[in-house]
Amino acid sequence: MTTTTSAASITDTVAAPDFSALKSRQQTAWASGDYAVIGTTLQIVGEQLAEACDIGWDQRVLDVAAGNGNATLAAARRGAQVMSTDYVGALLERGAARLAADGLNATMQVADVEALPFADGRFDAVLSTFGVMFAPDQARSVGEMLRVCRPGGRIGLANWTPDSFIGRVFKTLGRHLPPPAGVASPALWGDEKHVRALFGERVGELRTVRRSFNFRYRSAAHFVEVFRNWYGPVHKAFAALPQDGAAALERDLLQLLGEMNTGGAHALTVPSDYLEIVAVRA
């Protein structure tokens, strides 16, 4: 099977669900809690991605599904002209506050990665850290990122791998609240073969590096408390479950955290692998 055929197969697989309804539910989930509480801890990922994409002064950079702006801040620190987008306006406001605190500038605009309101080839680079991977229509998201990126420009992504800690968190959530049928798992964005099939021959080069981020909390219970209160998908999962179901989910998350903790008895350090991707637009 050729790369082009593989990409078409992926499109066929995810075409059946009602993406509009699913996206509406996702938007509600991400708007609940406050992702910025967790997002700010991931800033190093944005910095590494900006370096991998060789972001420099005056380059036109688009951050899609930007959340509270980790890639936005990283690109702005390197002198780029940044457009920061997300479909949750409150998160962009948090990103704007961070920019102001650091004396940086970027343009903030509410926008959906599956329907970007920008001209073809407008940007030198398109970035996303743990953002575009959650858009339900994967093929359309790739198509839009490629469309707005100029030929020779870079698309840089950081995506949790299927076997990572966060990948296993989502599998745990799925055992308690099954995901929508027919929708490709977000964690597939962390699988190199899948990503190469999505981009196909529309990129001249695609480089990947497997990296790791360390989640650091006081304890497993502290991690669950923070994510239950502030991380949209976990917050909504707990809210949707009856009391006994929520208790069972908490037990499973605590067990997973205990298995993966490398911080010893008095602290929680849990490494989570992610795939750093740099694709050069053909």
* DSSP summary character for residue 112: B
Is the pLDDT reported for residue 6 higher than 50?
A: no
pLDDT tens for residues 123-180?
999 999 999 999 999 999 999 999 999 999 999 999 999 999 999 999 999 999 998 8
* DSSP summary character for residue 130: S
Instruction: Show the beta-strand stretches assigned E in the chain.
Output: 60-63, 81-86, 107-110, 123-129, 149-160, 203-217, 268-281
pLDDT tens for residues 252-280?
999 999 999 999 999 999 999 999 999 99
Give DSSP secondary structure letters for 36-72. HHHHGGGHHHHHHHHHHTT--TT-EEEESS-TTTHHH
Domain extents in the chain = 3-161+179-214+272-281
Identify the CATH number of the domain defined by range 3-161+179-214+272-281: 3.40.50.150
Read off the pLDDT of each residue in 5-9 and give the average, rounded to a whole number. Answer: 42
Residue percentage of the chain with pLDDT more than 90: 86
**What is the structure's pLDDT at 9?**
42
Burial class (CB in 10 A: 0-12, 13-18, 19+), 217: buried
215 or 29: which leads in pLDDT: 215
Show the tokens assigned to 176.
Answer: 């308690």
Whether the full predicted model's pTM is greater than 0.95, yes or no, is no
- Going by pLDDT thresholds of 50, 70 and 90, the confidence category of residue 181 is confident
